[in-house]
Amino acid sequence: MQQESETPGAAGTATEGEFETGQVPPIEYRIRKEWANAAWFALDHCDPQDVAHICATCLAELETGGPVMGDLLGTVTGDALFWADCAPAHELVAYGTAALDRLRGLALGLDTRKRLFARLWGTFDPKDRQAFLTRVDAEGRFLRRGAA
């Protein structure tokens, strides 16, 4: 990682050059600058996989539900919803399984993974949810048949 020469401001976009010559930036600006520098330093010294996970988690928490990068007009999401509405169950299972397999290796924040799990969990009826819960221990490991 290489740090930019600009310093984040109140909106994360201001630079020190935006203040008049000789004008001291407000204390809030200087504190945010120091925190941003500390965060950059810490990320720069982390393993790249950890950096990806941390950044993905932070971005997921900032998500507004608006268009995603590369999908400015919402066409990818819109197309996915359209094709999901048209697809037969066996195709949905094939794509869903492939997507979950592909997501396994990507850096996703815990909240994103929880949302995926909650959506899937919501497809089970209460009887099936309870049956599943009786087969796992507190850490989520499957119990041996007959053990409870």
Q: For residue range 31-87, list pLDDT tens digits in order.
A: 999 999 999 999 999 999 899 888 888 877 776 665 555 566 667 778 888 888 888
User: What's the whole-number average pLDDT of the chain?
Assistant: 79
Angstrom distance (rounded) from CA 139 to CA 137: 5
Tokens representing 97?
Answer: 């399984």
- Residues 70 and 48: their CA atoms lie apart, in Å, by 23
Q: Is 45 within 8 Å of 39 (Cβ atoms)?
A: no
Give the whole-angstrom CA distance, residue 91 versus residue 98.
10
Query: pLDDT band at 122, cuts 50/70/90?
Result: very high
